[in-house]
Structure 1
Amino acid sequence: FRYDEHSNAGKYINRQDEIGTMLKAVTTMQQNVQDNLIEKLEHIAQGNLDDEIIMVGDHDQVGPALQDTQEAIKTLITDTNMLVSAAVEGRLDERADETKYDGDYQKVIAGVNATLDAVVEPIKEASVVLEAMAQGNLDQDMQGNYRGEHAVIKISVNKTFESIKMLVSDTNYLVAAAVAGELDTRADTTKHRGEYARIISGVNA
């Protein structure tokens, strides 16, 4: 139905009876759909979430539904921006509340939270291992099952761990040999690289 003053409906819309009332209600609803639904949905699709949703009467169902949609998307964007800012600022434990959402919106936020978990886990474990090494604890390496660049982090940290552990082990070995009077004992410098090899070479000498 589309109101046209030249149509049959147009001839009856100003009637002061039930037919006129019904036609006016239908016309109002149609105009509401045109102004408050189609146009607003186009704006939402374009990323414009600032439109005011106008309610048409107490029985308007389109307006509230559209308003809920607009608010849900706004909240989704706000939480996504919050998570991005938190990650950039190093607040890696920050997460959005998934329970605020329903359906696919909840899946989006859950996915972002899960992505952050996957990114943060190897960083946290690497921090724990490196802090332990800094405290002289060489009994703990990275154990997590990681893939891609996260696996590279694990490999690099564990290589560092093994290099320091081997340096300490060979140094202790040479010291113990010297204390025991075994002055011909030497460590294998080929097991070490860089400054670590120089340290062992110096102790050997």
Structure 2
Amino acid sequence: MIVYNPMDGEAITSSIKSMPRHCFLMTKLGRPIPEQVNVIGDAITSICSQCGFTVIDASTQITGRDFLLKIWKKIAATPLAVGVFHEDIPQKTQSNIYYELGIAQALGKETIIVKSPNIEMPSDFTRTEYIEFDINFSVNFSKYLDELNNQAEHYELMADQLENNPMLSIDYLKRAFLITGNDQLRNKARKLLKEPGLSSRAKTSVEQLTASF
């Protein structure tokens, strides 16, 4: 996949370090944080930990550089993005979360919305499956995380069936690797790079960058 810098629109020609088994959490970060929003975030973090996922957000790393680019790279590095929506989150912050969800979906990430029962979603999301933060949240969110393993199997199967399209096959292997952390998927991608016409490609080529996960 060719990915572009959100700041200048130019293609990214350096690799982004992969963060398999990580979840990028999109929520209210600046103080004051509504109490119930904290409760939702803590619940997501706890369940992710139980399922072997590490939760990070935009405040996890301090780079001293552009904030949007940092968020973009974190989303690109992880397999999963979770957006939290609650009526006590300011509209401006909700707009940022919607934007970040769009980035995640455009980059082929697994995305899920966690919402309070009372908040209404925009019309563009009326067909999007979400998880409500209610008495069934722990069960439903755990089911969702478990389902990601099936999605990873699907991506690996697609990669195997696309052996004549190594670029797309490598991208599917990367998506499966980010979900599972299985190093065998990395090895399969590197093997594809040895195909005729690919092994001699420049280190900054799309093929080499995609396979450098």
TM-score (norm 1): 0.26
Q: Which structure features the higher share of helix residues?
A: 1
Structure with the bigger percentage of strand: 2
Higher-Rg structure is 1
Relative contact order (alpha carbons < 8 A, sep ≥ 6): 1 or 2 greater? 2
Scaled by the length of structure 2, what TM-score is found? 0.25
